Amino acid sequence: MIASVRGVVQFIGLDQVIIDVHGVGLAIAVPRTVLATIGAVGDSAQLYTHLHVREDMLALFGFNSPAQRALFELLLGVSGIGPKVALALLSAASPEELQQAIAREDTIMLSKVPGIGKKTAARLVLELKGKFGVSTISHQLSTNPGLLAINTELIDILTSLGYSSTEAQAALNALPADAPADTEERLRLALQYFGGV
Instruction: Tell me the pLDDT tens digit for each residue of 75-97.
Output: 988 888 999 999 999 999 888 78
Cβ–Cβ < 8 Å for 61, 3 = no
More confident call, 147 vs 23: 23
- Look at residues 124, 129, 190 and name the one whose alpha carbon lies nearest to residue 157: 190
* In the predicted structure, residue 74 carries a pLDDT above the cut 50: yes
Percentage above 90 pLDDT, the chain:
33
User: Per DSSP, what are the bridge partners of residue 24?
Assistant: 21
For strands 44-53 and 16-21, give the pairing.
unpaired
Domains of the chain from N-terminus onward: 4-63 (2.40.50.140), 66-131 (1.10.150.20), 134-193 (no CATH)
Name the range with the highest mean pLDDT among 101-115, 125-139, 141-155. Answer: 101-115
Q: Determine the pLDDT at residue 159.
A: 79
Q: State the CB neighbour count (10 A cutoff) for residue 118.
A: 11
Cβ–Cβ < 8 Å for 87, 41 = no
C-alpha 67/C-alpha 148 separation (Å) is 5
Q: Determine the pLDDT at residue 135.
A: 43
Q: State the CB neighbour count (10 A cutoff) for residue 114.
A: 10
**Total-model pTM:** 0.67
